[in-house]
Chain A
Amino acid sequence: MISKPTLAAIRFGAGLSPEYAPPDGAAALWDSLSTEARRKAPPVTLWETRLARAIERRDQRQARRDGDASAQEARRLLNRADRDDALADLRATLVRLATSETGFFERLSRFWSNHFALQAKSGNFRAVRVAYAEDALRPHILSPFADMLKAAILHPAMLDYLDQNRSVGPASRTGRRRGRGLNENLARELLELHTLGVAGGYTQDDVTQMARLLTGLTYTLEDGFTFRPNIAEPGIIEIFGKRYGGRPVTLDHILTALDDLALRPETAQHLATKLAQHFISDAPDPQLVAHMAASYLEAKGDLPALYRAMLEHPAAWVGPLAKTRAPFEMMAASLRALAVDRAMVLGLSRNETRRFLDGPMRLMGERHEAVPSPAGYSDASSAWITPQGLAARIDWAMGLAQLVPGDTDPRDFVEIALADAASEALRRASAGAETRAQGIGLILAAPDFNRR
């Protein structure tokens, strides 16, 4: 039986640490949300910066077409700037998780960034994932879900990733003149992934109607998000028995539909299930999920009510640790357990970041700034446990342990890093290592430390 503080720190937070006492239960985690949301976290690249680079990239493309010889070099520098910022964002986000009081807020931030997953498509945008999440998702982690949903769906990065900016209402002015039409990519993922869930009872016709309704959403690099009535499908559009749209075509029709989607019981069930599966178990207690979904609906879709319902339910506090730390979480938890100096991490050079953080995380199966699909990374506990992924974890853990001051005793470290979540086998093995460093590496690579 794992104690409540250990469960709180490992299951819901960033892991155990010699610097931060573990939260003693639900109340401490709950209280940490507002303070961690307000805390001055290491900054990441602003969305405006990525947008400005996209404009520059577009202009250079034009200059190159016009035969400007210096454009090639300018483009190389621009790409390097975007890449360097991405590496800095990896350092900053790792430090955010590793050095937060409990880490619950940062874990939620990762959850939502995977729920509304996207990455830059080829074109003018590069490495936009972190900046988009900071811009659209993070401000709404403690808001009504509808606010986050609208911010995500209307964000230029999302409109670009799921082709919404290409979709044109066939009966709109532009559609009629130029013979253009619908692209249902975003409409489908909105229903399947972001709100109702694949079991949410919608049909192909609902997807098509939603695609008609979403027309008009687009962006320009200069102005960001824009609603263009010229490409929006006019007329009444019926979805789930409710009528939207009509003349004049306005953005409000779409916002109303998103508000309605956020409050549907299927959405509540989908979000509650995903959140419980993320934190607690691949097969969470149905009563826990039902309590979460009901609390969410009762609170008119307020996200904190969803979190609170999860934390307050007894099923959330039953061991064992059934989930697996994602590569990023395992790396942050290692840095936290070893109390690695944040300035050291933030000060890593481009090449050090590549060699020590970015490359290893990719080998473990998680790519910074990239998602495998609009569904994000799989949240199944077995998803990260491949031979090649584990080899990468072992390699990184052993490498990190080499950097630890030589007087850290593995027999002490196992208590710091895992407390009563350490198995007897791990205690024995860490004492049986040839060197202190190998003992510490062993602890970080062991199944015990890679569960949460």
Chain B
Amino acid sequence: MHQSLSRRRFLTRSLALGCSAAASPLLTPVTLAAAPGDNRLVVIILRGAMDGLDVLRPVGDPNFRTLRPTLAGDGLALDNFFALHPALDGLHPLWQAGELAFAPATSTPYRDRRSHFDGQDHLEAGTAGTLPPALQRDGWLNRMLTLLPQADARTAFAVGRERMLILEGQAPMTQWAPGTELDLSPQSRLLLGYLFAADPLFSDAGLTALDMTGMDLPDPDDDDEDAMMSMMAQPPEPSAGDAGALAAYVAEQLRGPTRIASFSLSGWDTHFRQERAILPALGRLQDAILTLRAGLGPDWSRTTVLAMTEFGRTMRENGTTGTDHGTGGALLLAGGALRGGRMFGGWPGLAEADMYAGRDLMPTRDIRAYAAWAMHDLFGLNASDLASTVFPGLDMGDTPRLLL
């Protein structure tokens, strides 16, 4: 499937270029090299600021119940200090199997303004301090791709209807939402390809749109009958938006040539009546992880999932049985490749003196260090490249030994 797709992409583009005399970066020959290794990385962006203290409850801390009169329920015991939110009960077996772990108190270097939108940009850009200008923004997963010599456009996949800054940048990648179709005559396809190729703002997205929707066209010299048959035998594409469906599509790509995938789950901004408001988001997160695990089958053992959010929430409940924007929060890690069933990075405590700015959980480690070590271990990248290209200026510190 990968080969025929790549050839088609090449054909579409060379035909399109036949109409245009102008030189184009699209003339670059398509790489048919094998994907870089067998390990897989999935990054889930949890938009809206997930309340780490609710997901991963420090029930062993005497201050927990005082700070959170309505939100300090018991949960499912993970160790003698932390308990898992009961709505994530489907993930409890993963913890027992060593396929689930947390960094309970982490964050990006973003501080004090507590804006969702800036916070998400920091998380996805992976920069410290101020953000680069809007026009030059790229994401850390994309910069990591530039370090993988064998990566091609299908190595990394952003899935869903919204843009994923984390995967945008110079390195080619693919973005798509499952369920999108386009019924076009071959001539219209050709002419549109020619028009899109001529406009830098539209060329990548436009040509990808034509490629991705052109898959069901008979390829005149397709000799890979098996690939065609297996493609046709697949069940109909799920609709975008449903977390399980997104994850199923991601798993399908990861079983193919894709090694890096990212998508986002929102609904974490629980200012009011959090006990109830957080349930749909937890359900989507659990659904996504369990679907990835089921869909990846044997490849789950080579997969690492990082579910990260822009910042944590206030340690104290607010006046409306919810929580407001905070700083430190939890990173969730899952996967068969994980050295799971444990907490990474220490616990700062919930006492007044332990708080950040007298209100928030104090981060004990930069969240980018976990991502960097995961990429180091999964893709064999060296620390100096990670600390210069991917996360400029990051001190990775000692290895937390995330993987088995």
Q: Which positions in A face B, CB cutoff 8 Å?
A: 163, 166-168, 170, 175, 180-185, 188, 192, 198, 203-204, 207, 282-283, 324, 363, 365, 372-373, 375, 378, 380-383, 385-392, 394-395, 398, 423, 425-426, 429, 432-434, 438, 441-442, 445-448, 450-451
Cβ-closest chain B residue relative to A423: B198
- Check B114 against A204 for contact (C-beta < 8 Å): yes
- Check B163 against A383 for contact (C-beta < 8 Å): yes
Residue among A207, A283, A447 making CB contact with B195, cutoff 8 Å:
A447
- Check B205 against A387 for contact (C-beta < 8 Å): yes
**Cα distance A167–B319 when bound, in Å?**
7
A438-B185 contact, Cβ under 8 Å, with A388-B180, A429-B195: yes
- Check A447 against B187 for contact (C-beta < 8 Å): no
A391-B191 contact, Cβ under 8 Å, with A198-B117, A382-B201: no
- Check A387 against B118 for contact (C-beta < 8 Å): no
Cβ-closest chain B residue relative to A168: B319
- For B322, what are the chain A residues with a Cβ–Cβ distance below 8 Å? 163, 183
**Cα distance A166–B359 when bound, in Å?**
20
Nearest CB of B to A240, in Å: 16
Spot the interface stretch: B98-106, B206-214, B295-303, B346-354.
B206-214
- Check B319 against A182 for contact (C-beta < 8 Å): yes
A433-B188 contact, Cβ under 8 Å, with A394-B182, A394-B209, A423-B198: yes
Cβ-closest chain A residue relative to B202: A447
- Check B117 against A373 for contact (C-beta < 8 Å): yes
Cβ-closest chain B residue relative to A180: B319
A385-B187 contact, Cβ under 8 Å, with A391-B182, A442-B195: no
Of the listed residues B20, B163, B181, B325, the one surrounded by the most CB atoms of chain A closer than 10 A to its CB is B163
- Check A391 against B194 for contact (C-beta < 8 Å): no
B175 beta carbon closer than 8 Å to chain A? yes
- For A434, what are the chain B residues with a Cβ–Cβ distance below 8 Å? 185, 187-188
**Cα distance A392–B161 when bound, in Å?**
11
- For B181, what are the chain A residues with a Cβ–Cβ distance below 8 Å? 391, 395
- Check A365 against B195 for contact (C-beta < 8 Å): no
Residue among A170, A386, A433 making CB contact with B175, cutoff 8 Å:
A386
- Check B195 against A198 for contact (C-beta < 8 Å): no
B86-134 residues with Cβ-Cβ distance < 8 A to A are 112-118, 133-134
A447-B176 contact, Cβ under 8 Å, with A188-B325, A389-B205, A391-B209: no
Of the listed residues B135, B176, B199, B325, the one surrounded by the most CB atoms of chain A closer than 10 A to its CB is B199
- For A442, what are the chain B residues with a Cβ–Cβ distance below 8 Å? 188, 191-192, 195
9 more CB-based (< 8 A) A-B contacts, given A188-B115, A442-B188, A448-B195: A167-B319, A181-B318, A184-B324, A188-B114, A188-B325, A373-B117, A387-B176, A389-B161, A434-B187
Residue among B180, B187, B204 making CB contact with A392, cutoff 8 Å:
B180
8 chain-A/chain-B pairs, Cβ below 8 angstroms: A167-B320, A375-B117, A387-B205, A388-B161, A388-B175, A391-B181, A434-B187, A447-B198
